[in-house]
Chain A
Amino acid sequence: MTDTKLAHELLSDMIRVRRMEEKCAELYSAAKIRGFLHLYVGEEAVAAGSLRALADDDAVVATYREHAHALLRGIPMTSIMAEMFGKQEGCSRGRGGSMHLFDASKRFYGGNAIVAGGLPLAVGIALADAMLQQKRVTACYFGDGAVAEGAFHESLNMAALWNLPVLFCCENNLYAMGTALEREHSQTDLTVKAASYRVPTLAVDGMDVEACHDAAQQGVDHVRDTGGPFFIEFRTYRFRAHSMFDPELYRDKAEVEQWRQRDPIRSFTQQCLRDGTLSDADVRGIEDSAAAEIEAAVAFAEAGTWEDVEDLERDVLTPPSEPEPMPEPAR
Chain B
Amino acid sequence: MKTSYRTAVHDALRDALRDDPHVVLMGEDVGRYGGTYAASKGLLEEFGPDRIRDTPLSELGFVGIGIGAALNGLRPIVEVMTVNFSLLALDQLVNTAAALRHMSGGQFSVPLVVRMATGAGRQLAAQHSHSLEPWYAHIPGIKVVAPATVEDAYGMLAPALADPDPVVIFEHVQLYNTSADVEALTPTDISRAAVRRGGTDVTLVAYGGSLWKAMDAANELSLGGIDCEVIDLRVLRPLDDDTILESVRKTHRAVVIDEAWRTGSLAAEVMARVMEGAFYDLDAPVARVCSKEVPMPYAKHLEQAALPQTANIVAAVRNLFGEQQ
For the complex formed, measure the closest distance between the CB of B5 and the CB atoms of chain A, giving whole angstroms. 28
- Taking A114-B96, A158-B62, A317-B101 as contacts, is the C-beta distance between A125 and B107 under 8 angstroms? no
Contact between A120 and B104, CB atoms less than 8 A apart: no
Interface membership of A39, Cβ < 8 A: no
Across the interface, name the chain A residue whose C-beta is closest to B95.
Answer: A114
Q: CB-CB < 8 A to A154: which residues of B? A: 56, 58, 60-62, 64
For the complex formed, measure the closest distance between the CB of B109 and the CB atoms of chain A, giving whole angstroms. 5
For the complex formed, measure the closest distance between the CB of A66 and the CB atoms of chain B, giving whole angstroms. 13
Contact between A121 and B68, CB atoms less than 8 A apart: yes
Contact between B104 and A110, CB atoms less than 8 A apart: yes
Interface membership of A126, Cβ < 8 A: yes
Contact between B104 and A92, CB atoms less than 8 A apart: yes
| B:235-282 near A, CB below 8 Å | none
A-B contact pairs, 23 of them (CB 8 A): A91-B105, A93-B106, A95-B103, A109-B68, A110-B103, A110-B108, A117-B92, A120-B67, A121-B64, A121-B71, A123-B61, A123-B65, A124-B65, A131-B50, A150-B58, A155-B64, A157-B56, A158-B65, A317-B164, A318-B164, A322-B109, A324-B109, A329-B21
* Residue interface bits A113-131, CB-to-B below 8 A is 1, else 0: 0100101111111111101
Contact between A102 and B65, CB atoms less than 8 A apart: no
Q: CB-CB < 8 A to B71: which residues of A? A: 109, 121, 124-125, 128
Contact between B103 and A120, CB atoms less than 8 A apart: no
| A:291-320 near B, CB below 8 Å | 314-318
For the complex formed, measure the closest distance between the CB of B73 and the CB atoms of chain A, giving whole angstroms. 5
| A:116-154 near B, CB below 8 Å | 117, 119-129, 131-132, 150-151, 154
How far does the alpha carbon of A126 sit from the alpha carbon of B71 in the complex, in Å?
Answer: 10
How far does the alpha carbon of A127 sit from the alpha carbon of B165 in the complex, in Å?
Answer: 19
Interface membership of B72, Cβ < 8 A: yes
Report how many residues on chain B are interfacial, defined by Cβ distance under 8 Å: 45
Interface membership of A219, Cβ < 8 A: no
Q: Using CB atoms and an 8 Å cutoff, list the residues of chain A in contact with chain B.
A: 59, 61, 90-96, 100, 102-104, 109-110, 112, 114, 117, 119-129, 131-132, 150-151, 154-155, 157-158, 161-162, 314-318, 322, 324, 326-327, 329-331
* Residue interface bits B99-137, CB-to-A below 8 A is 1, else 0: 011111111110100000000000000000000000000
* Residue interface bits B56-100, CB-to-A below 8 A is 1, else 0: 101011111111111111101000000000000001100110001
For the complex formed, measure the closest distance between the CB of B28 and the CB atoms of chain A, giving whole angstroms. 12
Interface membership of B22, Cβ < 8 A: yes
Interface membership of B55, Cβ < 8 A: yes
Across the interface, name the chain A residue whose C-beta is closest to B101.
Answer: A315
| B:5-52 near A, CB below 8 Å | 21-22, 24, 50
How far does the alpha carbon of A129 sit from the alpha carbon of B163 in the complex, in Å?
Answer: 21
Q: CB-CB < 8 A to A109: which residues of B? A: 68, 71, 108
Across the interface, name the chain B residue whose C-beta is closest to A313.
Answer: B140
For the complex formed, measure the closest distance between the CB of B256 and the CB atoms of chain A, giving whole angstroms. 25
